[in-house]
Structure 1
Amino acid sequence: MLLLDVHTYQLVEPGPIESWPEYATVSHCRECQDVSIDDLHDLDMLDLQSASQTAGLPWIIQACSEARAFGVDLLWVDTLCMDRSPRTEHSAAINSMFQIFQGAQICLVHLDDIDTPKSSLEDLGQQIQQSSWAKRVWMLQELIASEDAQFYDAHWNPIGTKISLLPILSQQLGIDQAVLEDSKCLFDFSVARRMSWASRLLAILEEDSAYSLLGIFGVQLTIMYGEGGKSAFVRLQEEILKGTDDLTLFAWKSADEQEYRGIFAHSPSEFNHFGVHSHRIPLKTRGRIQKSPAGILICEAFVLRSAQPDIALCVLGQPDSENESLIFGIPLLKWNNRYVRTSPSLLLNLDKLPKRRPERICITRDMPCDLAAEPDFEGVSENQIMQLFGRSELLQSRDAQWVEICQNIFLAHEKPQVPYVASDIEVYTHSLREYWAQNGQRDIGKFLKSQETQGNKIHVNKQKETALNQTVLTRMIDKLVELLLPTEGGLQDGKCFQQAMEEVQGEAFNTQAHPSPDGGAT
């Protein structure tokens, strides 16, 4: 990370952010990419008339002048001070943006499309609301994080401070005044309320709708421009979910015509209904929320059921300052042993909780537009999927989920190119499937021959042998998961994998050897 020396106009490396000397920041809409490091290197040798011939330099010179007036020697300007190569440093800079603005002595807010400020505070507020700066998605965390800010018009004339403009900034930008006064109360507001502050803001790069909110929610993400805005925003919500039990994260409303959706919103605009005059406190859940390959598992959800397969997920709120409580109902539809959100434009306001026991439900994180396009889980029992739910780490990373689903279920597909597996249980389960793919037919033959020797002749054709092969494999995996669960992925009593294999295979075949009530093999 770099800072601009306001006296020499040179970029310097001040070290870790925590040890930076006093500095100023600039919040703006101006594009300064025309200013190169070479331009800055020669700037102290130029007179102002020569500098004016280089696009962007007069703006930099004036920003440095204003910073000097506040008694600071260093200035942070995003387009100059963020090292975009290597990629890891650029990612670290974006993840540190809130911290950078929070630590600044002063933030200089330049409104380059307000040429002549209005005299009345109300009219000035409307000018600020209509400015390009106020529509910019990065504005939100820059304004909230900055303890002190000075606003300027297009000609760098001061038009007010953050404190003096506080009421109109809150009113015109739709941000609660309390959080503008003190960013430390940021987490007193519900997730949905914070999302609503960004619901009308615009991003030049669609991924910035998510990346610009990292500081607002106190999370970090790997920055991947090109992944798409929806993908980045879903990743943001998954990361938020790791550190909160506030279910207003799920209380969004869609404006599009898609009939079915997953549990996550696609953009901040879907939280627009949580404005400044709406419910502000978090809506808590009593049970755990887990993220798994199949979706989001809510362990204690209050559910209203109808005669149809639709249900409503009820979210309990806490009494607010007026002793009112708010409960949202999210319409869901059962699909492939999980639930999807149906009628995503609808959010139910419920009077009270249903008088019934909470239950565990799984909701897809996202889904295709076509409800008929179900994922292929052929050969995987519901019990196995629930075992994976039960033992999965709370809110695993996307990489861990990808490994878990690919390594354990889709063995026939090409192995995922990932640097690690989530835990030993994936290694053992995958090894068992590999072993069975190579030796299952041989072992089934041995089993049938041993049964014939014992007088239990079992007649099977090719189709039944394939079914028997899959049944034994299923029971072996169930037994292996059961064996590994008590140790959270490690083998018990120092068993090696071969011993464990022999044990689970033996039990699976012993179960097969007992006839079912109808006389056939179980």
Structure 2
Amino acid sequence: MRLLKTDTLELHGYFDDQIPPYAILSHRWEDGEVTLQKLQSGEGPQMPGYQKIVNCCAQAVTDGWDYVWIDTCCIDNTSSAELSEAINSMYRWYQKSQVCYAYLVDVPDATTDHSRPESLFQQSKWFTRGWTLQELLAPTFVEFYDQNWNEIGTKSSMRTLVQKITNISTLASTRVTTRIEDLAYCLMGLFDVNMPLLYGEGHNTFLRLQLEIWSRTNDESIFAWEFGNKPSPKRT
């Protein structure tokens, strides 16, 4: 596992029992994110996504954490083997974090009355993404931050509102992903299954996920899923 030192922004690799306590970031990818290669080459500070890394590390330092994990720069996305390992390990990494910072870039003001249906917090796209489902559920502690890194609240303190926003009993039903295959990959950790990544196979990935889950249970309701003509399933 590759971690970012919060005071120096240097990358360090750790394995298994050697992994130190760390904070973790949950966010939506946007244009100009800083990749591993860009951070190592020194090009990061010139990119739009760099300030998000700086602010995340600053928050972690304030909270007393020496390390943070950020998916944009802590994974070598050019390595299919490393990417596969990361996606298969993602749920566990979020689960073992000391705290998860959920950065909502489309929420401009932490002090707004977020209980109002028209509030930007309730409308944040963070609540619609496939990958953020496990990032909400896996960590024990989740803290929500607005676009200026002011704390909005926590998963615990806002649990009633978060349940309302996410429709917690059918939490995955309205989630979307950029790649069709990620509709399945983002659910692997929730079902505690592992399988190889095969981008390009489309909806067949979801069938593989169903088969992996079914191999562990005799509940055939796992196949009660439908794909319409739209790229997203009715249920995910």
Common topology (TM > 0.5): yes
Q: How does 1:305-316 map to 2 (within 5 A)?
A: none
Task: Return the structure number with greater relative CO, CA threshold 8 A, min gap 6.
Answer: 2
Structure 2 counterpart of 1:15: 15
- Look up the equivalent residue of 1:26 and give its one-letter code: L
> Any conservation in 2 of the 1:3–1:11 contact (CA below 8 Å)?
yes
Equivalent position SS for 2:68: strand
Q: CA offsets, 1:239-283, max 9 Å, x none?
A: 0000012232133356559xxxxxxxx965246xxxxxxxxxxxx
The answer to whether 1:26 aligns with 2:19 is no
Percent of matched pairs sharing the same residue: 36
What is the deviation of 1:175?
1.5
- Look up the equivalent residue of 1:25 and give its one-letter code: I
What is the deviation of 1:69?
1.4
> Any conservation in 2 of the 1:33–1:79 contact (CA below 8 Å)?
no
Structure 1 counterpart of 2:156: 163
Q: CA offsets, 1:101-144, max 9 Å, x none?
A: 00000000000011124633412785333212111110101110
Structure 1 counterpart of 2:221: 248
Equivalent position SS for 2:25: strand
Q: CA offsets, 1:371-415, max 9 Å, x none?
A: xxxxxxxxxxxxxxxxxxxxxxxxxxxxxxxxxxxxxxxxxxxxx
Rounded Cα–Cα distance in structure 2 between residues aligned with 1:125 and 1:140: 22
Q: CA offsets, 1:455-501, max 9 Å, x none?
A: xxxxxxxxxxxxxxxxxxxxxxxxxxxxxxxxxxxxxxxxxxxxxxx
> Any conservation in 2 of the 1:35–1:57 contact (CA below 8 Å)?
yes
What is the deviation of 1:212?
0.1
Q: CA offsets, 1:42-67, max 9 Å, x none?
A: 76xx9xxx94x432222211110011
Change (3 A) 1:36 1:218: closer
What is the deviation of 1:86?
3.2
The answer to whether 1:91 aligns with 2:90 is no
Change (3 A) 1:245 1:126: farther
What is the deviation of 1:85?
4.1
Equivalent position SS for 1:113: coil
Indicate the RMSD between aligned Cα atoms, in angstroms.
2.6
Rounded Cα–Cα distance in structure 2 between residues aligned with 1:78 and 1:116: 25
What is the deviation of 1:31?
3.0
Equivalent position SS for 1:130: coil
Structure 1 counterpart of 2:6: 6
- Look up the equivalent residue of 2:207 and give its one-letter code: V
Q: For structure 2, list consecutive stretches of 5 or more residues without a partner in the other structure.
A: none
Rounded Cα–Cα distance in structure 2 between residues aligned with 1:37 and 1:252: 37
Rounded Cα–Cα distance in structure 1 between residues aligned with 2:228 and 2:197: 27
Rounded Cα–Cα distance in structure 2 between residues aligned with 1:106 and 1:270: 29
Rounded Cα–Cα distance in structure 2 between residues aligned with 1:37 and 1:208: 21
Match of 1:212 among 171, 186, 206: 186
Structure 2 counterpart of 1:238: 211
What is the deviation of 1:77?
0.6
Equivalent position SS for 1:109: strand
Q: How does 1:239-278 map to 2 (within 5 A)?
A: 239-252=212-225, 255=228, 268-270=233-235
Q: How does 1:314-353 map to 2 (within 5 A)?
A: none
Q: For structure 1, list consecutive stretches of 5 or more residues without a partner in the other structure.
A: 177-195, 258-265, 272-522
Structure 1 counterpart of 2:172: 198
Match of 2:53 among 51, 54, 60: 60
What is the deviation of 1:156?
0.6
Match of 2:136 among 136, 143, 153: 143
Match of 1:114 among 107, 112, 127: 107
Change (3 A) 1:70 1:118: closer
> Any conservation in 1 of the 2:143–2:151 contact (CA below 8 Å)?
yes
Match of 1:174 among 149, 167, 170: 167
Rounded Cα–Cα distance in structure 1 between residues aligned with 2:177 and 2:32: 17
> Any conservation in 1 of the 2:110–2:151 contact (CA below 8 Å)?
no
> Any conservation in 2 of the 1:129–1:173 contact (CA below 8 Å)?
no
Equivalent position SS for 1:25: strand
Rounded Cα–Cα distance in structure 2 between residues aligned with 1:143 and 1:22: 19
Rounded Cα–Cα distance in structure 1 between residues aligned with 2:39 and 2:225: 46
Rounded Cα–Cα distance in structure 1 between residues aligned with 2:145 and 2:181: 29
How many residue pairs were aligned? 236
Equivalent position SS for 1:129: coil
Rounded Cα–Cα distance in structure 1 between residues aligned with 2:51 and 2:81: 31
> Any conservation in 1 of the 2:174–2:235 contact (CA below 8 Å)?
no
What is the deviation of 1:206?
1.1
Q: Give the TM-score taking structure 1 as reference length.
A: 0.42
> Any conservation in 2 of the 1:31–1:79 contact (CA below 8 Å)?
no
Rounded Cα–Cα distance in structure 1 between residues aligned with 2:36 and 2:79: 17
> Any conservation in 1 of the 2:103–2:147 contact (CA below 8 Å)?
yes
Change (3 A) 1:119 1:55: closer
Change (3 A) 1:6 1:197: same
Rounded Cα–Cα distance in structure 2 between residues aligned with 1:147 and 1:33: 30
> Any conservation in 2 of the 1:150–1:158 contact (CA below 8 Å)?
yes
Rounded Cα–Cα distance in structure 2 between residues aligned with 1:118 and 1:231: 44
Which structure has the bigger radius of gyration?
Answer: 1
Change (3 A) 1:152 1:13: same
Q: Give the TM-score taking structure 2 as reference length.
A: 0.89
> Any conservation in 2 of the 1:198–1:269 contact (CA below 8 Å)?
no
What is the deviation of 1:197?
2.2
